[in-house]
Structure 1
Amino acid sequence: MVDATHISLQANDRSYFSLLKKEIHQRLLDAGMEHTRIAEVDIIVAEMTSNLFKYADNGEILFGSFQENGVPYIELISIDRGPGMQNPSRMLQDGMSTSNTLGAGLGSIKRLSDTFDIYSQVGWGTILLSRIYMGKKPAVKKGLLIRPIVVSKPGEKVSGDGFVCRINGNSFKLMLGDGLGHGPEANLAVNEAAKVFKVFPEQSPTATLRFIHGATRKTRGMVANITHFDAEKGEWLSAGIGNIAAKWIGPVSSKNHMSYNGIVGHNIPTTMNDQVYSSTEYNQLVLCSDGIKTRWEVSKYPGILKHDLVLLAACIYKDHARGTDDMSVIVLKVR
């Protein structure tokens, strides 16, 4: 089932912390993580919430579970709108503290994580990433790296946004869909689209959109972007219908992708064409659902492209999360 990739756990009040810790602990047990590793993750969560309480405003922790090259892992992303840090790398050193504590919190999180990253700006806030694998961390492979954040609207049990990827050798085809409205009916529209997306053999995004359109007529409909990446050709093909924002990012420039007007499952243009982009010119793609404002710039986050991809997704999410919609940010990069 296509659904949210992360759950959002509010950490803006100390009274929530015990419930937050229990929620994550239970999800780790359900995932089959070893008890010794769970104990380490418990420490990571405790340090994250402690930092949010001491230094931050409007804290939030995103929790997600994934697989990479067949190895399951969990991901914790701590987001705040606090004062930020002028020198995050210095604060990772044991003994560094601004609140008369031992100053081992960030260092402990880093040591217990298989992947750790941090991004911060003074006056903007801080984002902290911890990724823990249930097995040996897989080696980095060439190809397309995908980091999603899909969070359902507060109060909804399922997400009306959905992300799905089909891999065929060195070829990747992916879809970000946003069902109209929220809740189960919006989720159904995206899942019906995902079913036919997975079996449609053609590479063309526009041909795929037409096929999905016919198969989702009995749903409330959705907006969507479909992108195909061919590693051998070094080429992207992309097409979108509705307000899914797509931005291409390269070493020297970026470019917004223009979508067609319409609703998949109800009305789509009679004439559509795939847009072609070179992966040499644009090696990254960011897709955002309509919960995210279309006008955001990488330049707002100095140095972010040197960090883990999910931190870029979290930056965009942080600046636009208002709890009024399902929200999706998908970041892709050619390695």
Structure 2
Amino acid sequence: MEEWVTGRHISFNLDDRSYLAILKREVHRLSIQCGLTEKKVAEIDIVVAEIGSNIIKHAGGGEVLVMLTDNPQPAIEIIAIDSGPGITDLARMMQDGISTSRTLGHGLGAVKRLSDFLQVYSVKGWGTILLARFFIKPAEQYPPKPGPEIRTLLVPKPGEKVCGDAFYVHADRAGIRIFLGDGLGHGVEANKAAAAAVNSFRYCMLSDLGEVLRQMHDDVKRTRGLVGTIAVYSNKAQTWKICGVGNIHTRMLTASTSRTHLPYNGIIGHNIPRTINEQEVVHEAGKEQVLILCSDGIKTRWDMMKYPAIFRYDMSVLAAAIYKDNARKTDDMSVVIVKVK
């Protein structure tokens, strides 16, 4: 059994070199807090400096997201995002010892060597996403497991210290249970509403998703309310059941199809429809299926055709790509992705 409760990314804008020092200081502090060795901390310092330098010099600025994660194993996760020209010869630049002029001289090859996990996704004229993870415990303690790939990205509204979006994910032999909620507005009160909904969902024993939402509605009435969507996957039946109230954007993707789930109108905790029915989506065995949920801090008209071959990458890269092109920056922003085969 595995479960994940809301963990958020910290955003660092790198529009100016002066911001790089802040990023380096905060990641260094986090590395020490995680109990990493001096050698590992120094290696992470090198990686962060190289990533930040590349973003500023070659893309004219960008954004770095940092999170302490347990998924797929305990690690410091760094996602660097830019809208620069892209990397022309990525394979060559990933070789150790190769570096363009005016960088620190370590290059992406050294970044790859010093990271426990690294993927770089780059499209000419669109930009680049770099995903790096630094494991807190030896990788041998966390052998790869078959099953779904679950990735999350939550970023508070700029200037807020807490996020008004929240999620809960539970995966076991029976299947997957997911909830994504968005508290009305943003800030502390929105956070309280979303957290109350997560707590309600986490311990609810009801099976019908409409009834689960009704129970949640009763449990959060003393908060300002929220919108939210539940998705449950059954390994035995190989089906998804989806049910939501309010504007959580939910999309199901396969290699050849894209289907958007339409939620009910309303606000959980204030007013919900009298009749709430779950929708069922069949998963064809052997075919990849990707479920994506986004709060309304993410624009809904994103086009997967902009991201060639992105399903070959870790789903955190896809989450970052959606965030890069569609984050409103006027509200809390969240993307939850589940890939099943």
**Smaller-chain TM-score bracket:** over 0.9
Distance 2:103 2:35 in 1: 34
Q: CA deviation at 1:210?
A: 1.1
Q: Which of residues 120, 125, 128 in structure 2 aligns to 1:126?
A: 128
Q: CA deviation at 1:197?
A: 0.9
Matched residue type, 2:62: G
Quote the residue 1:241 is aligned against: 245
Which residue does the alignment assign to 1:79?
A: 81
Do the aligned partners of residues 204 and 37 (structure 1) sit closer, same or farther apart at CA in structure 2, a change above 3 Å counting? farther
What is the TM-score normalised by the length of structure 2? 0.93
1:323 corresponds in structure 2 to: 329
Q: Which moved more, 1:46-55 or 1:310-319?
A: 46-55
Question: What are the superposed Cα offsets for residues 143-170 of structure 1, whole Å, 9 maximum, x if unpaired?
Answer: 2221100000111110001111133433
Kept in 1: contact 2:288–2:339 (CA 8 A): no
- Residue equivalent to 1:176: 180
Given the alignment, which residue of 139, 149, 161 partners 2:153?
A: 149
Q: Is the alpha carbon distance of 1:127 and 1:267 closer, same or farther for their aligned partners in structure 2, counting shifts above 3 Å? A: same
Using a 3 Å threshold, how does the CA distance of structure 1 residues 3 and 235 change in structure 2: closer, same or farther?
Answer: closer
Residue correspondences, number: 334
- 1:270 lines up with 2:274 in the alignment: yes
Mapping of residues 301-316 of structure 1, within 5 Å: 301-316=307-322
2:48 is aligned, of 36, 45, 55, to 45
State the one-letter code of the partner of 2:28: H
CA–CA separation in structure 2 for the residues paired with 1:4 and 1:294: 23
Quote the offset at 1:53 in angstroms: 2.0
Deviation at 1:96, TM superposition (A): 4.0
CA drift of 1:99 comes to 2.7
AA aligned opposite 1:124: W
CA contact (8 A) 1:248 1:282 kept: no
Q: Secondary structure at the match of 1:214?
A: helix
> Aligned partners of 1:77, 1:198: CA distance in 2, in Å?
28
Shift in alpha-carbon separation, 1:269–1:158, aligned structure 2, 3 A: same
Structure 1: any 5+ residue segments left out of the alignment? none
1:14 to 9, 13, 17: 17
Partner of 2:38: 35
8 A contact 2:71–2:151 mirrored in 1? no
> Which residue of structure 2 lines up, in the alignment, with residue 59 of structure 1?
62
Give the distance between the partners of 2:5 and 2:96, measured in 1 at CA.
41
The alpha-carbon distance between structure 1 residues 45 and 160, as it changes in their structure 2 partners (threshold 3 A), is: same
Q: Is the 8 A contact 1:249 1:283 kept in 2?
A: yes
Per-residue CA shift, 1:9-33, capped at 9, x if unaligned? 1111101111211111111222222
Q: Is 2:162 the partner of 1:158? A: yes
Q: 1:291 to 1:245 in 2, by over 3 A?
A: same
SS of 1:328's equivalent in the other structure is strand
1:148-205 CA-to-partner distances (Å, cap 9, x unmatched) read: 0000011111000111113343322111000000100000000111111111013332
> Gapped runs of 5+ residues in structure 2?
none
Q: 1:61-104 deviations in whole A, cap 9, x for unaligned?
A: 100111146x4111100011111123322321235444366864
Q: In structure 2, what is the equivalent of residue 289 of structure 1?
A: 295
The percentage of aligned residue pairs carrying the same residue is: 46
- 2:258 and 2:328 map into 1 onto residues whose CA distance is 26
2:53/2:104 contact within 8 Å kept? no
1:185 aligns with 2:210: no
CA RMSD of aligned residues (A): 1.9
Q: Distance in 2 between matches of 1:104 and 1:40?
A: 11
Shift of 1:135: 1.7
CA contact (8 A) 2:54 2:103 kept: no
- AA aligned to 2:31 is L
Q: Is the 8 A contact 1:246 1:256 kept in 2?
A: yes
Report the TM-score when normalising by structure 1. 0.94
